[in-house]
Amino acid sequence: MIKKAVLPVAGLGTRFLPASKATPKEMLPIIDKPLVQYAVEEAIKEGINEIIFITSNEKNSIERHFKKNKKIETRLIRSGKNNFVEKLNPKIFENVTFKYVIQKSQKGLGDAVLQAEKYIKNESFVVLLPDDLFISKKTCLNQIISLNKKTDSTVIGLNKVDKAKIHKYGVIKPGIVKNKIIQISDMVEKPLIKNAPSDIAILGRYVFTPSIFKYLKKVKRDSSNEIQLTNAIKLQIEHEEVFGCIYNGQKFDCGSKEGFVHATIALALKDKTMNRKIKKIIRDII
Ligand code: G1P
């Protein structure tokens, strides 16, 4: 059973300045919940009980957010607002350990994942990139964990993207495909359209076997002096089977402003208490 999740959250969030100046990008809300909490809830739903944030010194509000706040809880209860207590201190956080590792310098996603090694050691684990938000019957993490249970291998969440957008993602070269399970034969990080091996991109959910740490240490820095996670997986593919499955559901790239607004509208429309009002607002605007 996979119990540990790594969430890299050390990035500067440049695209969201000035909002991300004093508030980490991951703490910006989609409706009433910080973006990062969606990924944390997805992980907990799939049985994760240890969440390791790879973070920076500037982002201690993330740590405050996942800690129980007794003071505000008492104030809420005193003023008769008991029904807000669950929102403040969710029960599902109670049996989860949150750990924080400071990534001293921005050396890429691969370096961020490597920082978690001391807490993971020799077991399989998941990585969630909180920028990717999903709406689906079975969570995205559930879909890849199920495949990991069958294969005991590294499994990566995938989705097909427009060729025009392929340069924004890691892109795989599919090998044998059986019952929607794709054995990955190669991958490349953010290729030019003409060099992309397929239109199948890597999304922000991964299950890793612990050997990934060995490959993260071997991998060479890229031209921007970063350790790319994709390049470490590429090395892993040379020694082990690595699989992927095409995610079934909706995906929002909240790392971009359009994706963030899209997710906000989609979740507002999904919320029964707001649905009609939001529809009316949209109709009026249009
Ligand atoms: C990262 C990965 C990339 C992947 C993407 C998914 O890129 O490096 O392979 O496709 O996440 O969101 P980033 O979005 O951090 O630039």
Q: Has residue 10 got a pLDDT over 90?
A: yes
Q: Has residue 178 got a pLDDT over 90?
A: no
Atom of ligand 1 nearest to the CA of 169: 10
Q: Which of 169, 172, 189, 247 to mutate to test the pocket of ligand 1 (most atoms within 8 A of CB)?
A: 169
C-alpha 142 to ligand 1 mean position (Å): 20
Q: Whose CA is nearest to atom 8 of ligand 1?
A: 170
Q: By residue range, what is the domain housing residue 188?
A: 4-255
C-alpha 286 to ligand 1 mean position (Å): 34
The residue whose two tokens read 């909490």 is 37
C-alpha 158 to ligand 1 mean position (Å): 11
Pocket residues: Cβ below 6 A from ligand 1? 109, 129, 131-132, 169-170, 189, 201-204, 229-230, 255
C-alpha 22 to ligand 1 mean position (Å): 24
When divided into structural domains, the chain yields a total of 1
Q: Has residue 46 got a pLDDT over 90?
A: yes
Q: Which pLDDT score is estimated for 142?
A: 98
What CATH number did the domain enclosing 51 receive? 3.90.550.10
Atom of ligand 1 nearest to the CA of 255: 14
User: What are the phi and psi torsion angles at 98 (to 5°)?
Assistant: -105, 125
Q: Which pLDDT score is estimated for 66?
A: 97
Percent of the chain with pLDDT over 90: 95
Instruction: Assess if residue 185 is contained within a domain.
Output: yes
**DSSP 8-state assignment for residue 108:** -
Q: Give the mean pLDDT of the chain.
A: 96
Burial (CB count within 10 angstroms: exposed 0-12, middle 13-18, buried 19+), residue 197: middle
DSSP secondary structure string for all residues of 116-180: THHHHSSS-EEEE-TTEEEE-SS-HHHHHHHHHHHH-SEEEEEEE--GGGGGGSEEEEEEEEETT
Instruction: Assess if residue 276 is contained within a domain.
Output: no
Indicate the pLDDT class of residue 105, thresholds 50, 70 and 90.
confident
Instruction: Assess if residue 277 is contained within a domain.
Output: no
Q: Which of 16, 190, 202 to mutate to test the pocket of ligand 1 (most atoms within 8 A of CB)?
A: 202
Instruction: Assess if residue 139 is contained within a domain.
Output: yes
Gap between the Cα atoms of 251 and 132, Å rounded: 7
Percent of the chain with pLDDT over 70: 100
Instruction: Assess if residue 280 is contained within a domain.
Output: no
The token duo for 249 is: 């559901």
Residues 219-223, mean pLDDT to the nearest whole number: 91
Q: Whose CA is nearest to atom 10 of ligand 1?
A: 169
> Tens digit of pLDDT for each residue in 119-129?
998 999 999 99
Q: Which pLDDT score is estimated for 96?
A: 98
Q: Which segment of 102-106, 173-177, 268-272 scores lowest on mean pLDDT?
A: 102-106
Q: Which pLDDT score is estimated for 43?
A: 98
Instruction: Assess if residue 32 is contained within a domain.
Output: yes
Instruction: Assess if residue 260 is contained within a domain.
Output: no
Q: Whose CA is nearest to atom 11 of ligand 1?
A: 204
C-alpha 194 to ligand 1 mean position (Å): 19
